[in-house]
Structure 1
Amino acid sequence: MTKRPPVYILITPDGQARWGHQLAVAEEAMGPHGIGRSFLTPQARLRIAAPNSALTRPDQYAPNPYAAQVLAHLVGLPPHNTPETRGPVALYGFDPTNERDRTRPLTTPERNTITQALTAAGCTTT
């Protein structure tokens, strides 16, 4: 049996990073206040999902410097130039033709690049 490649990586404020296959699982971990989504870069096939009101509810969503560092590494910015990041953050493969959840498996090069960014940020991966 061949192992399926993951669809997303979820990075929590304590530096834990978990690969997963159903984006809904990551979204549930983001809390009850809605999910905001954005492309990593305009031309990227990767999207970011994070709690929609994390910045306006700092008492409920801890700072996530690990996710900020991972995202900075992936786009080639110094970590101090990234916007504030709070709460759990997911990075996932995007497929606009997937009508169910708009996801796709992460490619091997994407997983390798994300793994390098996770290592650079000091994340623990499970």
Structure 2
Amino acid sequence: MTRQPPVYILINPDGRAHWGHRLSVAEDTMGHHGIGRTFLTPYSRLRIASPGPAPTRPDQHPPNPYAAVVLAHVAGHSPHNATDPHGPVALYGFDPTNERDNTRPLTTDEQHAITRALAAAGCTTT
């Protein structure tokens, strides 16, 4: 049996990270206040999903320093210049031609880059 590659990695504010195959599962973890999406870098095939109004609701979405480090490493930036994400953050493969949910499986190279970034951030993965 061939194992399908994951579509996303969900990074929680406590450093736990989970690989997954359906982005809707990660979105459920982010809450019911809307989901914000942005590209990791211009022209990137990776996108970030996070709780939409997180900066205005820090009581519900604590800072996520682990995601900040992971995103900076994968984007090729210094963690010192990282953004300040809040709440659980998903990094996922983006496919604009997938009309169902705009996701695609992460490539082997993307998985390796993300795995290295998770280690650099001190995340634990499942």
Relative to the length of structure 1, the TM-score reads 0.98
Q: Deviations over 1:103-122 (max 9, x none)?
A: 00000000000000000000
Output the amino acid matched with 2:113. Answer: T
Looking at structure 2, the residues matched to 116 and 43 of structure 1 have their Cα atoms a distance apart, in angstroms, of 22
Task: Report the Cα offset of residue 80 of structure 1.
Answer: 2.2
Gaps of 5+ in 2: none
Looking at structure 1, the residues matched to 105 and 77 of structure 2 have their Cα atoms a distance apart, in angstroms, of 25
1:7 paired with 2:7, answer yes
Equivalent position of 2:89 in the other structure: 89
1:49-68 matched pairs, under 5 angstroms: 49-68=49-68
Matched residue count: 126
Looking at structure 2, the residues matched to 84 and 50 of structure 1 have their Cα atoms a distance apart, in angstroms, of 11
The two structures, once aligned, show a CA RMSD in angstroms of: 0.7
Looking at structure 1, the residues matched to 117 and 48 of structure 2 have their Cα atoms a distance apart, in angstroms, of 15
Equivalent position of 1:105 in the other structure: 105
Looking at structure 1, the residues matched to 17 and 119 of structure 2 have their Cα atoms a distance apart, in angstroms, of 10
Output the amino acid matched with 2:63. Answer: P
Task: Report the Cα offset of residue 74 of structure 1.
Answer: 1.2
Looking at structure 1, the residues matched to 110 and 83 of structure 2 have their Cα atoms a distance apart, in angstroms, of 22
Relative to the length of structure 2, the TM-score reads 0.98
Q: Deviations over 1:44-71 (max 9, x none)?
A: 1000000001100011111100000001
Equivalent position of 2:73 in the other structure: 73
Task: Report the Cα offset of residue 76 of structure 1.
Answer: 2.1
Output the amino acid matched with 1:85. Answer: P
Equivalent position of 1:121 in the other structure: 121
Equivalent position of 1:24 in the other structure: 24
Percent identical pairs in the alignment equals: 71
Equivalent position of 2:42 in the other structure: 42
Looking at structure 2, the residues matched to 4 and 90 of structure 1 have their Cα atoms a distance apart, in angstroms, of 18
